[in-house]
Structure 1
Amino acid sequence: MTDFFASPAASFDEPVALLMACHERVRHYAGLVKKLSAHVREHGADEQAKSAAAAILRYFDVAAPLHHQDEDDDLFPLLSQRGDAALRERIAAITAEHAELGALWQQVRVCLVAIAEGRAAELSQELADTFARRYPAHAGVEDDQIYPMAEKLLTATELTELGRRMAARRGAVVSG
């Protein structure tokens, strides 16, 4: 079975790269929501739809909340302490979006659970499109406007500690 959470290019030793790799998976699974909506309209909750829904559920129920914790509990507070007013405002706005995206996810999740269970369900194209647009846009702001500041403002020791905290949150052990 493929481990959808493994990333050969990033590790806890490079926490910012790992966060960015997570965003690649966000883009993948958010795009899959959009494709699944069209698929279900045409084919119903067939085996392919059930498998896709289960994979999306696994990612957004398990990995995405951990990712948000990495940001909200560890990275963003450090950056807010070190950054200027503009960075603090961007961080506050992006943190507020986590709650909005969580609510949007819950709407999508209801449909995906039904599909994963093989029950007839509709995943509206409008809802799927909104999800497929908003989550990647959010990730893009973090990638372009916030994460680069970690490399500039945080020390190597702080980045190492960030990686350790991220690993511990997932029950992993890091070297060093």
Structure 2
Amino acid sequence: MNAAPVAPAVFEFLDKTHQDIMAQLVLLSPLVDAIESEGLNAANREKVRRILHYFNTEARQHHLDEEKHIFPALLNSQDEAIVHTTQRLTQDHGWLEENWIQIAPSLDAAANGNLWFDTQELRHAIEVFEALYLDHIMLEESIAYPEAKQRLQAFDGAGMGREMAQRRAKTKAQRPAPKA
């Protein structure tokens, strides 16, 4: 039996995650506007919980997927530009995590009904986070993913997909879901 190629299933999943990340990013700035104008009502607190949960779980898992399964093939390239791009993408993950660590406490406070944070500082941190994520995703989709698809074309994607799913299931079991 032939192994299923990586490209279709794994890259469709990674592309779908990028779409989900973009959808979450679009919610952040309007949420700060809503908090400023409406306060921390139940609806705004629930929106914050969902965004916080997404970036604390799925977005982090996505970065791990790339670093574990996609980037190694690119780092082994003889093409210096591909290696440099991959190193930059890895560094971006670190910057995104740093930005998120700056944003998350304010969102956690908001989810719990506390408005101790400065909304203007939060807004600025979100703008930086959004810009970095958009640039990062564009670079992955225009350079890294096409190159990785070629390099991993004949690779068995079943094991890679299984590992991604098992890690998410384990993480989900360890972390409580946001309150309804």
Q: Contact 1:16–1:147 (CA<8 Å) still a contact in 2?
A: yes
Report Cα offsets for 1:89-125 as digits up to 9, x if no partner: 1000110111111010011101100111111244332
Equivalent residue, structure 1, for 2:174: none
Unpaired segments ≥5 residues, structure 2: 1-6, 171-180
Inter-partner Cα distance in structure 2 for 1:90 and 1:61: 25
Equivalent residue, structure 2, for 1:61: 56
Match of 1:35 among 30, 41, 47: 30
Unpaired segments ≥5 residues, structure 1: 1-11
Match of 1:136 among 134, 137, 141: 134
Match of 1:102 among 97, 100, 120: 97
Report Cα offsets for 1:44-99 as digits up to 9, x if no partner: 11112101110111111011111111111221002222452111110001101111
Q: Show the 5 A alignment for 1:41-120.
A: 41-82=36-77, 84-120=79-115
User: Secondary structure of the equivalent of 2:155?
Assistant: helix
Q: Contact 1:15–1:159 (CA<8 Å) still a contact in 2?
A: yes
Inter-partner Cα distance in structure 1 for 2:85 and 2:58: 23
Inter-partner Cα distance in structure 2 for 1:92 and 1:77: 10
Matched to 2:38, the amino acid is: H
Query: Structure 1 residues 56, 129: closer, same or farther in 2, change over 3 A?
Result: same
The ranges of structure 1 where at least 4 consecutive aligned residues each deviate by more than 4 angstroms after the TM superposition are none
Equivalent residue, structure 1, for 2:176: none
Equivalent residue, structure 1, for 2:173: none
User: Secondary structure of the equivalent of 2:57?
Assistant: helix
Structure number with greater CO (CA < 8 Å, separation at least 6) is: 2
Query: Structure 1 residues 164, 156: closer, same or farther in 2, change over 3 A?
Result: farther
Q: Contact 2:89–2:136 (CA<8 Å) still a contact in 1?
A: yes
Q: Contact 2:77–2:83 (CA<8 Å) still a contact in 1?
A: no
TM-score normalized by structure 2? 0.81
Inter-partner Cα distance in structure 1 for 2:128 and 2:136: 12
Inter-partner Cα distance in structure 2 for 1:83 and 1:113: 44
Query: Structure 1 residues 85, 119: closer, same or farther in 2, change over 3 A?
Result: same
Matched to 2:90, the amino acid is: T
Equivalent residue, structure 1, for 2:167: 169
Equivalent residue, structure 1, for 2:147: 149
Matched to 2:112, the amino acid is: E
Matched to 1:123, the amino acid is: T
Inter-partner Cα distance in structure 1 for 2:162 and 2:153: 14
Tell me how many residue pairs correspond in the alignment.
161
